[in-house]
Amino acid sequence: MIKPARKGRAPFWRRMQDRGHAYLLNHAHSLFSSLGRLSRSPFNTSMTILVLSTIVAMAGGFYIAVANLQLLTGNLKGTNQISLFLQESVSENAALKLAEQLRRREDMQDVKLITKKQAFEEFKQHSGFADALKILDFNPLPHVLQLTPKSQTDSAEQANALTAEFRQWPQVYFVQVDMQWIARLQAIMQLVDSGVKMAAGLLALAVTFIAGNTIRLELQNRQDEVYISKLVGATQAFIQRPFLYAGFWLGFISGLFGWFIITVELYLLQGPVERLASLYEGGFGLRFMNFREFLGLLLASTTASLVGAWLVLNYQLRQLKPQ
Amino acid sequence: MLKLEGVSKRYPEAGEVLSDVGFHLARGEMAFLTGRSGAGKSTLLKLIAMMEWCSRGKIFFDGQNISRVGEWRIPFLRRKLGLIFQDYKLLNDRTVFDNVALPLIVSGVNHQEVPRRVRAALDKVGLLGKEKKYPLALSGGEQQRVGIARAIVNKPSLILADEPTGNLDPDLSAEIMAMFAEFTQVGVSLLIATHDIELINSLHYRVLVLHRGRLLEAGDGDD
């Protein structure tokens, strides 16, 4: 029975087939036994997963928050109106003529005149200052021309050129570009977006190191097994496998839990957000993670954890030499 | 099977532990390696098991020079070796079956063949029926026999044993030696490090004596 192994006992293809089969079986075994091993130390494992999924939830939460804000600010695009507040000395007739003149321009899509009177009535009705306005014996409001430039691009240059031109006009007291604050908001959003990306990168790094450290402890607990496996001829790949799978599971489960946390939080925020939106007469509803984003979160968390495990194994297994 | 030529090992802290050791172990030959503690027995076994590298000299195993071998080849060479330890080196959280099956799993043996070969190895060492026990539930002698079963399950061509009877009483030791002698019948070579002089004298095998890192006697033990 202990005859030295002799070559050619079975045909080559047969042996290769057996080997391939054993290899796959070994992978499947590692996949599930590593899960079983994690569940055998439930306290440690659940602590690690709790920490990891909190981090994943933070990263994913930032992301979805920015996505929602972008949705909100995205709706504001295209309202690049220019308001011309006319001098007080300009009469209604002159204002009408000016409006006519502007309407003939090629670069204007729409020109709307809000006369002193209209503005005053509107102000009285909507601002709640009706009583205060009664005290005034004159109308302090100017005529206003609301212009919508033709090319609906949000090119700041065009807006700036128009603004400069209108400022030269003697009848114009003040030029206000409604687009400016949107541009500023969008610039802020871009900044927030890059900030969130950076934070997500750091959080991924945290997942990598926490998972790596967990695998390092696991490796220490199973030193004997590693030694003995090496002594009976285990390859580096064979020894690594269960630990890599443990890293995979940590990342995968944390990704799932992280997504769950985000979804629960969004549900909790949904009511307040809708109440706020209704106050602004907006039909804004919170956006949840879609399937692709969910997969992305899962993939990122699994990858980060796997990389952590891999780094630790590459470093530590070299140190572990059989005695 | 195993041939050493001018093998020396020097440690930075301890100086030269082995100097110019050379011998040849034929296929199916069993030899004792003896000497006082610190004479270099364990170091010599470690060199052959590729756990350490010699400073000078060459070691041939199965026709290959294993004193200089790429890291990636070591696992495949170790599969042709059976290692037996004084402290058994069993995994106490695994059953006897799993312990013995480890070398087979590690080398990717067909899973249908594993139980058959594990049982054959356990049968050989007289432990059939104890597959489901855990090592700590067994006596010292039984644990050592589990270690032996693990060493032979992969059908090695060379068995290296470091003080295999160190923790056993004389009767058990004799039993294990008889088992080793049986292995030589099928062409397995054995190198057994021990300082149990009585045991060595009671058997007639070749004896290699190490003294301060030098090999004193490489003759036949049958006087």
The CA distances from residue A319 to A323, B91, B102, in Å, are 12, 21, 22
C-alpha span between A176 and A165 (Å, rounded): 13
Does the structure show a pLDDT above 60 at A77? no
Given the structure tokens 């008889």, which residue do they identify? B178
Record: contact A2-B124, CB cut-off 8 A: yes
The beta-carbon neighbor of A19 closest among B91, B108, B156 is: B108
| Chosen domain end from A155, A177, A199 | A177
The CA distances from residue B53 to A92, B7, B67, B128, B209, in Å, are 102, 10, 6, 38, 21
Flag whether residue B75 sits within 8 Å of chain A, measured between CB atoms: yes
Same domain membership, residue A92 and residue A67: no
What's the pLDDT score for residue B57? 93
Beta bridge partners of B189: B158
| Chosen domain end from A177, A211, A242 | A177
| Average per-residue pLDDT for chain A | 84
Least confident stretch, A95-109, A175-189, B71-85: A175-189
Looking at the domain assignment, is residue A9 inside a domain? no
Same domain membership, residue A198 and residue A53: yes
- Residue B132, classed as helix, strand or coil, is coil
Which of A9, A23, A231, A235 should be substituted to probe chain B, the one whose Cβ sees the most B Cβ atoms within 10 Å? Answer: A231
* Chain A residues 5-34 with a CB less than 8 Å from chain B: 5, 18-19, 21-23, 25-26
Least confident stretch, A168-177, A249-258, A280-289, B90-99: A280-289
Q: In the 3-class helix/strand/coil scheme, how is chain A assigned residue by residue?
A: CCCCCCCCCCCHHHHHHHHHHHHHHHHHHHHHHHHHHHHHCHHHHHHHHHHHHHHHHHHHHHHHHHHHHHHHHHCCCCCCCEEEEECCCCCHHHHHHHHHHHHCCCCEEEEEEECHHHHHHHHHHHHCCHHHHHHCCCCCCCCEEEEEECCCCCCHHHHHHHHHHHHHCCCEEEEEECHHHHHHHHHHHHHHHHHHHHHHHHHHHHHHHHHHHHHHHHHHHCHHHHHHHHHCCCCHHHHHHHHHHHHHHHHHHHHHHHHHHHHHHHHHHHHHHHHHHHHCCCCCCCCCCCHHHHHHHHHHHHHHHHHHHHHHHHHHHHHCCCC
Flag whether residue B121 sits within 8 Å of chain A, measured between CB atoms: yes
Does the structure show a pLDDT above 60 at A146? yes
Which of B69, B77, B102, B124 should be substituted to probe chain A, the one whose Cβ sees the most A Cβ atoms within 10 Å? Answer: B102
Same domain membership, residue A278 and residue A149: no
What's the pLDDT score for residue A265? 94
Flag whether residue A227 sits within 8 Å of chain B, measured between CB atoms: yes
> Which CATH number is A114's domain given?
3.30.70.3040
Q: pTM for the full model?
A: 0.73
Least confident stretch, A128-137, A268-277, B86-95: A128-137
Cβ(B66)–Cβ(B50) below 8 Å: yes
What's the pLDDT score for residue A179? 65
Least confident stretch, A22-31, A252-261, B103-112, B114-123: A22-31
Does the structure show a pLDDT above 70 at A9? no
Least confident stretch, A135-139, B49-53, B195-199: A135-139
| Chosen domain end from A159, A177, A195 | A177
Residue A69: pLDDT band with limits 50, 70, 90: confident
Mean pLDDT of A286-294: 92
Record: contact A235-B111, CB cut-off 8 A: no
Shortest Cα distance, chain B CAs vs residue A1, angstroms: 7
Same domain membership, residue A298 and residue A196: yes
What is the tens place of the pLDDT at every residue in B106-145? 988 888 899 999 999 999 898 999 999 999 999 988 999 9
Same domain membership, residue A219 and residue A195: yes
Q: Which chain B residues have a beta carbon less than 8 Å from that of A23?
A: 108
What is the number of CB-based contacts under 8 A between chain A and chain B? Answer: 89
Looking at the domain assignment, is residue A168 inside a domain? yes
C-alpha span between A258 and A49 (Å, rounded): 9
* Chain B residues 5-44 with a CB less than 8 Å from chain A: none
Same domain membership, residue A156 and residue A106: yes
Does the structure show a pLDDT above 80 at A178? no
Record: contact A233-B156, CB cut-off 8 A: no
Give the range of the structural domain holding residue A143, as residue numbers without chain letter.
82-177
What's the pLDDT score for residue A134? 76
Shortest Cα distance, chain B CAs vs residue A22, angstroms: 5
Looking at the domain assignment, is residue A18 inside a domain? no
A30 or A193, which is more confident: A193
What is the tens place of the pLDDT at every residue in B53-67? 999 999 999 888 998
Same domain membership, residue A95 and residue A224: no
Our count of domains for chain A comes to 2
Same domain membership, residue A267 and residue A169: no
Contacts (Cβ under 8 Å, ≥6 apart) of B115: B97, B101
Flag whether residue B200 sits within 8 Å of chain A, measured between CB atoms: no
- Put the strands of the sheet holding B2-11 in their side by side order: B15-25, B2-11, B56-61, B64-65
What's the pLDDT score for residue A78? 52
Flag whether residue A77 sits within 8 Å of chain B, measured between CB atoms: no
A291-306 burial code (b ≥16 CB/10 A, e <16) = eebbeebbebbbbbbb
Record: contact B103-A2, CB cut-off 8 A: no
Flag whether residue B136 sits within 8 Å of chain A, measured between CB atoms: no
The beta-carbon neighbor of A233 closest among B72, B79, B187 is: B79
Looking at the domain assignment, is residue A103 inside a domain? yes
Q: Which chain A residues have a beta carbon less than 8 Å from that of B81?
A: 233
- Give the DSSP H/E element, type plus range, for residue B148: helix B140-152
Looking at the domain assignment, is residue A315 inside a domain? yes
Record: contact A2-B75, CB cut-off 8 A: no
Same domain membership, residue A67 and residue A216: yes
Query: Burial, B143: exposed, middle or buried (Cβ in 10 Å; 0-12, 13-18, 19+)?
Result: buried
Task: Count Cα neighbours of B82 within 13 Å in the Cβ-side half-sphere.
Answer: 32
- The single-letter code of the amino acid at A175 is V
Structure tokens given for A266: 């969004």
Same domain membership, residue A313 and residue A219: yes
Mean pLDDT of A124-153: 75
Cβ(A40)–Cβ(B192) below 8 Å: no
A8 or A57, which is more confident: A57
Flag whether residue B152 sits within 8 Å of chain A, measured between CB atoms: yes
Same domain membership, residue A53 and residue A141: no
What is the tens place of the pLDDT at every residue in B188-207? 999 999 988 888 888 889 99
Same domain membership, residue A293 and residue A162: no
What's the pLDDT score for residue B79? 94
Nearest CA in chain A to B156: A4
What is the tens place of the pLDDT at every residue in A191-244? 999 999 999 999 999 999 999 999 999 998 888 899 999 999 999 889 999 999
Structure tokens given for B102: 């480890």
Looking at the domain assignment, is residue A11 inside a domain? no
ipTM for this prediction = 0.88
Determine what percent of chain B is predicted with pLDDT higher than 90: 62
What is the tens place of the pLDDT at every residue in B148-160? 999 999 999 999 9
Does the structure show a pLDDT above 50 at A7? no
DSSP state of B38: T
Record: contact B78-A233, CB cut-off 8 A: yes
Least confident stretch, A14-28, A85-99, B132-146: A14-28
Record: contact A21-B111, CB cut-off 8 A: yes
Which contacts qualify for B217-220: CB closer than 8 Å, 24 or more apart?
Answer: B218/B23
Residue A148: pLDDT band with limits 50, 70, 90: confident
Shortest Cα distance, chain B CAs vs residue A234, angstroms: 5
A72 or A268, which is more confident: A268
What's the pLDDT score for residue B222? 40
Looking at the domain assignment, is residue A19 inside a domain? no
Beta bridge partners of B18: B9
Looking at the domain assignment, is residue A17 inside a domain? no
Neighbours of A275 (CB within 10 A): 9
